[in-house]
Amino acid sequence: MGDSETQVLSDMEYPSGEYKHPAVISNDENVGGDQTTYSADTNIIMHDAPIASAEDGVKTDIGHTNVSQENLQAGVYDSSVNSNGITNHDANGSVQHASGGAVGEQPLEPDSVSTAEERLWSIVKSNSLDFNAWTALIEETEKVAQDNISKIEKVYDAFLAEFPLCYGYWKKYADHEQRLASVDKVVEVYERAVVSVTYSVDIWLHYCVFAISSNYEEPEAIRRLFERGLAYVGTDYLSYPLWDKFIEYEYSQQEWGRLATIYTKILESPNHQLDRYFTSFKELAGSRPLSEIRTAEEVSAAEASGQGVDSEVHPDDPENSVKLASAGLTEAEELEKYVAVREEMYKKAKEFDSKIVGFESAIKRPYFHVRPLNSSELENWHNYLDFIEGEGDFNKVVKLYERCLIACANYPEFWIRYVLSMEVKGSMDLANNALARATQVFVKRQPEIHLFTARFREQSGDIQEARAAYQLVHSGISPGLLEAIIKHANMEYRLGNTEEASSLYEQAIATEKGKEQSQILPMLFIQYSRFLYLVAREVEKSREVLVGALEHINLSKPILE
């Protein structure tokens, strides 16, 4: 071991088409640390990424959910599962994804499907990432079975198990339930949607619009639904459509105090429409008596204060603003001070807005899509995350990562960054939640995330899960992946299992020998020999491996060296 170990993989070459880890593989990790898309368009149906945190199950009162800090950050994915995106078991013991049954679980009914449906089902069963085939299947099902809710449910459940970020399809699913089933079924779909797409402004907007238009709930329940959604997405720079709908609703109820409270909350954070909101707030304050726009709590606090302005008013606590009013001030003076507090909040938000507007304006696609992002957008997300992490506000960090993982859900690098960021900050629950979502749903078929998981689990002492992650790559994700074999063997050596490390190489070599043509067999011999020589210090066995290699492969420069 030592400096010589860095030579082990220095001249490694990957065959054309072989998976490459973005970092350079160095044999330093033998004893130390590892270095660590689709295409389609759906008429710009916009999608979002989840951190599932909404209330489990369907509530009769759609707005009744206590949103705590824990709920804001905890997800429904089982962080102990390192598999292909399946998380829960139903009462019959079959495995279910949080969004619905996986495609392999959807039974085909030949007598009840059209030829086109059967063909498309066959395609998505063999390749569940074929987004174009999925959308074609949905269209075909809607065409030939437009009044068959069970078939519609089946196709949407299967599709959304693979693509839970697609809020536009959750909306379409809910519309079908509203047309063919019951209001309760619509609520059920929306509740599943906000679990899967919790940080989507749009899905909360659709849910709230449904709640208002269906007269399903009383005003208090509708308000609670708005508040649930805004607890997650209210500080999103592009959250103004949901705020606008909430304002519109309270205006229709002529609840001026509630309306003023909404404006006050908006003015606390940067927003694409912040100037418009401040103007609207001033218009409201100028058109209604102060007694109407103050909440009951503010009025009571003002009466109780009975004295002049306190020396300190925290702008993040609007109720403290009532202490600005004193018994000796005229209503005009009280109103001026009431507005002044909100103006200070607005100025503070504008100041922070000036720091982030460059990052925000560079986000051209804030929603999920199967098409890859361009390099400039990926770089912008990294730069934005760097900036927010430097600001030191943990809640802002978490919410920006969640926004980022809407657009960048298909990129392991951002999931890895999120996990490591949460680990550094001591939030292992969030780190494990993010890792579970990455490995079970969003990038579950990409080797990089599972190799990272293996190293992450090893460092935390969970060797069983580390081995499971490697085994998943060996057996299903990318059999024969040289990097996985090397890293797995290195881990076993670090754990003192030299024989197991050697066995991994020998099993891989035996498998590759059985192939007519193996692109990685030469490199397997080389890596195994170097492992034995530089790491295990088994010089004679290292020589035997190279001699044995000559019986199976042609002489090459790497072998001779």
What are the boundaries of each domain within the chain? 1-19+478-561, 239-365
Cα angle, residue 124 at apex, residues 121 and 125 outer, rounded to 5°: 80
Provide the pLDDT confidence category of residue 547 given band limits of 50, 70 and 90. Answer: confident
Q: How far apart are CA 372 and CA 131, in angstroms?
A: 13
Q: How confident is the model at residue 86 (pLDDT cuts 50, 70, 90)?
A: very low
What is the pLDDT at residue 42?
31
Q: Is the pLDDT of residue 50 over 80?
A: no
- pLDDT for residue 215: 79
> Which helix (H) or strand (E) is 95 found in, with range?
strand 95-96
- 89 in helix, strand or coil? strand
Residue 560: other Cβ atoms inside 10 A: 7
Q: Is the pLDDT of residue 318 over 70?
A: no
pLDDT of res. 216: 67
Residue 65 has pLDDT above 80, yes or no: no
pLDDT bucket at 330, cuts 50 / 70 / 90: confident
User: What pLDDT, on a 0 to 100 scale, did the predictor assign at position 100?
Assistant: 47
Structure tokens at 446: 């990409």
pLDDT, residue 497, reads 95
User: Across the strands, what pairs with 344?
Assistant: none
Mean pLDDT of the chain: 81
Higher pLDDT among residues 93 and 319, named by residue: 319
What's the mean pLDDT in 528-542? 92
pLDDT at 125: 96
Comparing CA positions, the residue from 381, 531, 549 lying closest to residue 4 is: 531
pLDDT at position 345:
98
Choose among 289, 250, 288: nearest CA to 266: 250
pLDDT digits (tens, 9 = 90+) for 128-158: 999 999 999 999 999 999 999 999 999 999 9
* Whole-angstrom distance, CA of residue 485 vs CA of residue 19: 13
Indicate the DSSP class of residue 183.
H
**Look-up of token digits 């909350």:** 265
Answer positive or negative: Cα dihedral of 143, 146, 151, 154: positive
The mean pLDDT value for 38-61 works out to 37
DSSP string covering 250-308 = HHHTT-HHHHHHHHHHHTTS--TTHHHHHHHHHHHHHHS-HHHHS-HHHHHHHHHH-SS
Q: What integer is the mean pLDDT of 350-371?
A: 96
**pLDDT on residue 220:** 95
Full DSSP string of 313-327: --TT-GGGGGGG--T
Say if residue 161's pLDDT is above 90.
yes
Given this model, what pLDDT does residue 69 score? 40
Tell me the mean pLDDT in the region 537-541.
Answer: 92
The residue among 1, 15, 3 whose CA lies nearest residue 523 is: 15
Round to whole Å and give the CA distance between 301 and 525: 79
| Of 209-218, 319-328, 332-341, 507-516, minimum mean pLDDT range | 319-328
Measured in whole angstroms, how far is the alpha carbon of residue 221 from the centre of its chain? 28
Contact 491, 485 (CB under 8 A): no
Tens digits of per-residue pLDDT, 460-500? 999 999 999 999 999 999 999 999 999 999 999 999 999 99
Reduce the secondary structure of 228-254 to three states and give it as a string.
HHHHHHCCCCCCHHHHHHHHHHHHHCC
Using pLDDT thresholds of 50, 70 and 90, give the confidence band for residue 295.
confident
- Higher per-residue pLDDT: 80 or 478: 478
pTM (2 decimals)? 0.78
Please count the other Cβ atoms lying within 10 Å of the Cβ belonging to residue 392.
Answer: 8
Instruction: Categorize the per-residue pLDDT at 54 as very low, low, confident or very high, splitting at 50, 70 and 90.
Output: very low
Q: What span, in angstroms and rounded, lies between the C-alpha atoms of 528 and 539?
A: 12
Does residue 106 have a pLDDT over 70?
no
370 close to 134: Cβ distance less than 8 angstroms: no
Q: What percentage of the chain exceeds 90 in pLDDT?
A: 66
The lowest-confidence range among 63-77, 381-395, 414-428, 527-541 is 63-77
Q: How far apart are CA 511 and CA 265, in angstroms?
A: 63
φ, ψ for residue 47, nearest 5 deg = -130, 165
User: Quick one: pLDDT band at residue 56, thresholds 50, 70, 90?
Assistant: very low
pLDDT average, residue stretch 201-230: 94
Structure confidence at residue 490 (pLDDT): 96
What is the end-to-end Cα distance of the chain in Å, rounded?
19
pLDDT at site 245: 98
Q: Return the bridge partners of 97, or none.
A: 100
* Confidence bin at 112 (pLDDT 50/70/90): low
- 287 phi and psi, to 5 degrees? -105, -10
pLDDT of residue 35: 35
Location of structure tokens 């997405």: 233
